[in-house]
A and B are shown apart, each in its own frame.
Chain A
Amino acid sequence: MTAASQIRRELDASGIATLTFDRAGSSANVFDRATLEELDTHLAFLTAASGLKGVVLASAKPAIFIAGADLHAFSPAPAESVLTALVALGQNVFARLAALPVPTVAAIHGACLGGGCELALACDWRVASNAKATRIGLAETQLGILPAWGGCTRLPALIGLPAALKLILGGKPVVGLQALKLGLVDDVAPPEYLLAAARTLLARGRRPAAARRLAHLRPLPALIARKSRTMVLARTRGHYPAPLRAIDVCVQALGRPVETGLALERTALLELSRTPACRNLLGLFMLQERAKKISRPELAGLTSAPVRRVAVIGAGVMGSGIAQWLAARGLSVLLQDIDAKALAGGLHRIETLVRGGARRRLFTPAEAAATLDRVTPILPDAPLTDCDLVIEAAVERLDLKQKIFRDLESRTRPETVLATNTSALSIDALAGELANPERVVGLHFFNPVHRMKLIEVVRGARTSPAALAAALEFAKAIGKLPVIARDQPGFLVNRVLMPAMGEAVRLFNEGHAAETIDRHLLAFGMPMGPLRLADEVGLDVALHVQKDLAARLPNFVQPDGTLEKMTAKGWLGRKSGCGFYLHGPGRRAKTNPAAAEFQSGRASAMDGAAMTDRVILPMINEAARCLDQKVIEAPEDVDFAMVLGTGWAPFRGGPLRHADAVGVPEVVRRLESLARDVAPHFGPCEHLRHMAAQGRTFYPAPP
């Protein structure tokens, strides 16, 4: 066996061969060219071996079977010939596995995703461990591609078209018992008995041909496909071609020879790989992987002790959201607020979140109770000397927060990192007169905390490298994706988002219906229209942030007064039940007809593209300013943060990717015409002008 080996082969006396995937120097197994070729070699050996009775495929990793294809091979986009060869290689190797004359079984413990799942599908039998780490699924469509190593062909044949489409389109992996129910695996066993269970399955011999399924009789597949298409289109508004292609391939491959299906997969994958959506989604995936390992050269060697106990100051929506997230990850949390009533509100929110998670089977009732047990409510007189980190999430008022930080200084150990969840205030101002201002750092979570993976880690002027390193480590340890921002008003995400919200409000004020504005931005690919978003975050909060930014950033315009009037009337959006929309418990938001009184005009109909430009282009303008002012390091950080923090149209790759796609000179031209026709604040910033003049793009041009 060579040193570079990724797969161990053992052949026992009874004629059972075991191939154990164990990628050297990694905690994960992935399929790259070398691994596929090595598997091929082993299979060639086994094909020729005499006395062979069966083959077991297993992994030596503690939490991963095979995590999928090595996506580094796809980024930057590979030459088409390379891609074609890789797809064909995978298909051929798996076909060889499927063609072995002896029974084969995949003993699945740990993540079994993408190519890993397709490998398992090429076996006669599958047994999954009942461990939580065992998740089986095909997530390719999330990345703008489709399962092309036999997934689209073999999965529907195995578990039926409806269930297969659910897995392929939803992309959500299933645990062992769910997989058993679906027929995706043939047995579930404790990890300790997994290999024994695999051998028991081998004793059944080769898998008999499956009986024809009712759902596969014509015209049912066509109907199922039609329904799936409608559902996908409702979700994606046609921006994501991959799921639609996957439906086509699955349906066309049904009942045909495997080779036909594989050919269809190949063609579809190549087609999809040429789409911008695929490039952008893969790019974002790589950025997420990068964020999991993010560091800075100047932080090298700074290790912080693992955080076990955290104090969260403020039991409001953000504070309780953060406390819930941390407690669910096994951290012990002290949740502080000024009285029992405020604490009760926070604990109730946490309980609601946890019960929701338990209902969706994210955790067992016992785990849910343990999560709640880990949150201890405290009043501001409790000592925090046993805490490793404090996260302040109080009301956004500088004087109040400064007071809190002075108090925290007296209640914590001198080296405890003090983080703030402020979304707008200056970290340095918060640190104020503290004896150790260098331990204050920003940890800006996004709402709702349990859904938004991004954290802006904000470095104040006096923040120490140690505090920054600790904050980064912490963000990664709790399963969030950090991006480092400098201590400038609004940091990155809010600063780039706010112009869009302000512009949408202005459009509304001019007389455009809130629904129309939001509909055009949904069509653009935003997860939520800007006015609906304003309602969700709270009109008072939106107004406060806009005013604050306008006061501190010269290029920001003051809000136009609409929000001021609405909040004065007590309309605060969702929390008061009324804003641009009417909100009620258990009912969908409806347009608020009474909001018309805050419109100053009756605007004539406006072209959707023009409306979108007015909302989207200011974001690009502001993002370019952030880059120029070094609020954030690189264009990909901006795009990553905007997509992860606000759901900014992922298939477009983020505002700066989008700017490149439109063309920077074109963006400048449109901004200039908006500045001329609508208002001067649309004027493109220096940075954009320079880029346009010099013909530069934010990203290097694809090869």
Chain B
Amino acid sequence: MSAPAVYLVAGARTPFCKAGTLLAEADAVELGRTVAAAVLAQTGLDPAQIDETIFGCVGQPMDAMNIARVIALRAGVPESVPAYTVHRNCASGLEAITQAADRILLGRGHVYLAGGTESMSHYPLLFSDSAARKFATLARARTWGQKVSGLLQFRPADFAPRVSLLLGLTDPVCGLNMGQTAEVLARDWLISREDQDAFALRSHTRAAAARARLAEEITPVFPRGQKEPSAVSLENGVRDGQTMEALTRLRPIFEKHHGTVTAGNSSQITDGAAALLIMSETALARSGLKPLGRIVAHAAAGCAPSRMGLGPVFAIARAEASSGLKLGDAEVIEINEAFAAQVLACRAAAGSAAFARDQLGRDRALGEFPDEITNINGGAIALGHPVGATGARLILTALHELRVRQARRALVTLCVGGGQGAAVWLESCP
């Protein structure tokens, strides 16, 4: 007897654009709305058929709490359909999809609209706590005397903003920022600057070559409030002429002395969103739609926050334990490129029997990430990493790649800030 199937029926994503550039005018809601509406339009599905909308978003805008609900309503999903937002850091977009899958398996519903959205252009600047307290005092001031004395409390330092983007990228438990955790892995696994830069170059080369192929996943964004009509379809993180020379010239940004992680071999700060339509077998048959593929297994796993980049290895091992699917079974692998050092460390750890024994509690190594099936169309180093959207993007890209290669199985995996990993196994539908 086979487990009930969960089908990924259609999907769309925005182009991924560097923060502060082409998509800076569209916020996380607008990006999410665009992909949600596009998925509905692509399938011709009556939105009333949807049982629930689930979106992942890491930096939820303060003016759109439970952003999934806002996106759903604005995309034309009826008010009677509930919606909620999930947060598993960089795996948020993936979490939305696996939660939908689990709900279908539980029999809670048949049709889910799920995805992720992130507008890193819109991460706010914050006031410090002490400044906030002074503002509160001032707001309570009634008499002129109180107001003046309230105003006099302020010091120039109170107006120095705290950059929420930097706060979000710093692990509050181990105190390292994400780039520093990548430096830890580079030291642990002796990953050279050259290897990291070569990996980054490959990401750009592949992404540049795959523009037409990636365009199949992309729905344009039409930012509002522009003077002239504008349609954004171009992914501007990809450098068509990226070279080793250019990469080599960059200075390490996280550890100035002897560091190896640079802006060039790290993922980019990016805006983007992706959404998928997920259905049970029953709903699929009723809809008459042709699925892109199905989810056969998924797992999340924890690891050391200071080595969060190794998360994929832990998650893959866990998925294998529950499903029996081995790294070697994958014909397509999408692993998020948070940092070149981090992906290369995963590759080394997966091939290490010692690591398997000491860290994963198993007697053999996980296996290989063969170059020719891993991140065939480039990854986040070239395309960018809109944190909440990436997980959904990886699944969509892997599904399209299964179709293009007429392959059977794909593995999607990413590391998660805070010390986690997530992995999803996809299968094509014959």
Which residues of A come within 8 Å of B, CB atoms? 332, 334, 340-341, 343-345, 347-348, 351, 369-370, 372-374, 376-378, 382-386
CA distance A382 to B12 in the complex (A): 13
Within the complex, the shortest CB–CB distance from A320 to chain B, in Å, comes to 10
Residue ID in chain A nearest B226 by CB atoms: A348
Q: Does B74 contact A (CB under 8 A)?
A: yes
B41–A340 touching, CB < 8 Å: no
Within the complex, the shortest CB–CB distance from A393 to chain B, in Å, comes to 17
B44–A386 touching, CB < 8 Å: yes
| Interface hub of B38, B45, B224, B229 (most chain A Cβ within 10 A) | B229
Q: Does B192 contact A (CB under 8 A)?
A: no
B45–A347 touching, CB < 8 Å: no
**If the complex has contacts A344-B229, A344-B230, are A377 and B76 also in contact, measured as CB distance less than 8 A?**
no
Within the complex, the shortest CB–CB distance from B353 to chain A, in Å, comes to 50
Within the complex, the shortest CB–CB distance from A310 to chain B, in Å, comes to 13
Q: Does B231 contact A (CB under 8 A)?
A: yes
Cβ 8 A contact of A376, one of B43, B46, B76, B225: B76
Within the complex, the shortest CB–CB distance from A449 to chain B, in Å, comes to 18
Cβ 8 A contact of A383, one of B38, B44, B220, B230: B44
Chain B residues contacting A334 (CB-CB under 8 Å) are 41
Top 5 A-B pairs, shortest CB-CB distance: A383-B44, A348-B229, A340-B231, A344-B231, A344-B229
Chain B residues contacting A372 (CB-CB under 8 Å) are 224
CA distance A373 to B76 in the complex (A): 8
Residue ID in chain A nearest B224 by CB atoms: A351
- 6 A-B residue pairs with Cβ-Cβ distance under 8 Å, sorted by A, are A341-B231, A344-B231, A351-B224, A373-B76, A377-B220, A386-B44
Chain A residues contacting B41 (CB-CB under 8 Å) are 334, 376, 378, 382
Cβ 8 A contact of B44, one of A332, A340, A385: A385
Q: Does B228 contact A (CB under 8 A)?
A: yes
Count A-B contacts at CB 8 Å: 54
Q: Does B37 contact A (CB under 8 A)?
A: yes
Q: Which of B14-62 contact A (CB under 8 A)?
A: 33, 37-38, 40-46
Q: Does B75 contact A (CB under 8 A)?
A: yes
Interface bracket on B: 20 to 34
Chain A residues contacting B40 (CB-CB under 8 Å) are 376
A386–B224 touching, CB < 8 Å: no
Within the complex, the shortest CB–CB distance from A326 to chain B, in Å, comes to 14
CA distance A385 to B230 in the complex (A): 29
Residue ID in chain A nearest B44 by CB atoms: A383
Cβ 8 A contact of B222, one of A343, A369, A374, A378: A343
B74–A347 touching, CB < 8 Å: no
Cβ 8 A contact of A345, one of B44, B46, B75, B229: B229
CA distance A345 to B231 in the complex (A): 9
Within the complex, the shortest CB–CB distance from A663 to chain B, in Å, comes to 53
B45–A343 touching, CB < 8 Å: no
Q: Does B233 contact A (CB under 8 A)?
A: yes
**If the complex has contacts A348-B228, A376-B40, are A340 and B220 also in contact, measured as CB distance less than 8 A?**
yes
Chain B residues contacting A348 (CB-CB under 8 Å) are 222, 226, 228-230
CA distance A372 to B44 in the complex (A): 19
Chain B residues contacting A383 (CB-CB under 8 Å) are 42-44
Within the complex, the shortest CB–CB distance from B230 to chain A, in Å, comes to 6
In the complex, besides A343-B222, A343-B231, A351-B225, 11 extra interface pairs with C-beta distance below 8 angstroms are A343-B220, A344-B220, A344-B222, A348-B222, A351-B224, A373-B76, A374-B76, A376-B37, A376-B76, A382-B41, A384-B44
Chain B residues contacting A376 (CB-CB under 8 Å) are 37-38, 40-41, 76
Within the complex, the shortest CB–CB distance from B174 to chain A, in Å, comes to 42
Cβ 8 A contact of A340, one of B43, B75, B76, B233: B233
**If the complex has contacts A332-B76, A341-B231, A372-B224, are A386 and B46 also in contact, measured as CB distance less than 8 A?**
yes
Residue ID in chain B nearest A347 by CB atoms: B222
CA distance A386 to B46 in the complex (A): 6
Within the complex, the shortest CB–CB distance from B185 to chain A, in Å, comes to 40
A373–B46 touching, CB < 8 Å: no
Chain A residues contacting B37 (CB-CB under 8 Å) are 373, 376
Within the complex, the shortest CB–CB distance from A385 to chain B, in Å, comes to 5
Chain A residues contacting B43 (CB-CB under 8 Å) are 383
1/0 contact string of B212-243 vs chain A (CB within 8 Å): 00000000101011101111010000000000
Residue ID in chain A nearest B33 by CB atoms: A373
Residue ID in chain B nearest A372 by CB atoms: B224
Residue ID in chain B nearest A383 by CB atoms: B44
CA distance A373 to B46 in the complex (A): 16
CA distance A348 to B228 in the complex (A): 7
Residue ID in chain B nearest A332 by CB atoms: B76
CA distance A372 to B226 in the complex (A): 14
Residue ID in chain B nearest A382 by CB atoms: B41
Chain B residues contacting A382 (CB-CB under 8 Å) are 41-42, 44
CA distance A343 to B43 in the complex (A): 19
Within the complex, the shortest CB–CB distance from A335 to chain B, in Å, comes to 10
| Interface hub of B37, B40, B46, B228 (most chain A Cβ within 10 A) | B37
| Interface hub of A334, A345, A348 (most chain B Cβ within 10 A) | A348
Chain B residues contacting A345 (CB-CB under 8 Å) are 229
Residue ID in chain A nearest B74 by CB atoms: A373
Chain B residues contacting A374 (CB-CB under 8 Å) are 76
Residue ID in chain A nearest B46 by CB atoms: A386
Chain A residues contacting B231 (CB-CB under 8 Å) are 340-341, 343-344
CA distance A384 to B45 in the complex (A): 10
CA distance A322 to B63 in the complex (A): 32
CA distance A343 to B74 in the complex (A): 19
CA distance A369 to B26 in the complex (A): 13
CA distance A348 to B75 in the complex (A): 18
CA distance A347 to B45 in the complex (A): 22
Chain B residues contacting A347 (CB-CB under 8 Å) are 222, 229
CA distance A26 to B228 in the complex (A): 49
CA distance A344 to B233 in the complex (A): 11
B45–A386 touching, CB < 8 Å: yes
Within the complex, the shortest CB–CB distance from A380 to chain B, in Å, comes to 12
Chain B residues contacting A370 (CB-CB under 8 Å) are 74
CA distance A373 to B34 in the complex (A): 9
Chain A residues contacting B75 (CB-CB under 8 Å) are 373
Residue ID in chain B nearest A308 by CB atoms: B46
Chain B residues contacting A384 (CB-CB under 8 Å) are 44
Chain A residues contacting B228 (CB-CB under 8 Å) are 348
CA distance A373 to B26 in the complex (A): 13
Residue ID in chain A nearest B40 by CB atoms: A376
Residue ID in chain B nearest A336 by CB atoms: B41
CA distance A370 to B76 in the complex (A): 9
Chain B residues contacting A369 (CB-CB under 8 Å) are 74
CA distance A215 to B226 in the complex (A): 45
Within the complex, the shortest CB–CB distance from A63 to chain B, in Å, comes to 23
CA distance A372 to B225 in the complex (A): 12
Within the complex, the shortest CB–CB distance from B212 to chain A, in Å, comes to 15
Residue ID in chain B nearest A352 by CB atoms: B229
Within the complex, the shortest CB–CB distance from A364 to chain B, in Å, comes to 15
CA distance A426 to B136 in the complex (A): 70
CA distance A104 to B226 in the complex (A): 53
CA distance A74 to B40 in the complex (A): 52
Q: Which of B59-78 contact A (CB under 8 A)?
A: 74-76
CA distance A348 to B25 in the complex (A): 14
Within the complex, the shortest CB–CB distance from B396 to chain A, in Å, comes to 17
CA distance A341 to B231 in the complex (A): 6
Within the complex, the shortest CB–CB distance from A344 to chain B, in Å, comes to 4
CA distance A382 to B41 in the complex (A): 6
Within the complex, the shortest CB–CB distance from B25 to chain A, in Å, comes to 12
Residue ID in chain A nearest B37 by CB atoms: A376
1/0 contact string of B144-161 vs chain A (CB within 8 Å): 000000000000000000
Chain A residues contacting B220 (CB-CB under 8 Å) are 340, 343-344, 377
CA distance A11 to B229 in the complex (A): 62
CA distance A383 to B287 in the complex (A): 12
CA distance A404 to B96 in the complex (A): 39
Chain B residues contacting A343 (CB-CB under 8 Å) are 220, 222, 231
Chain A residues contacting B33 (CB-CB under 8 Å) are 373
Within the complex, the shortest CB–CB distance from B108 to chain A, in Å, comes to 24
Chain B residues contacting A386 (CB-CB under 8 Å) are 44-46
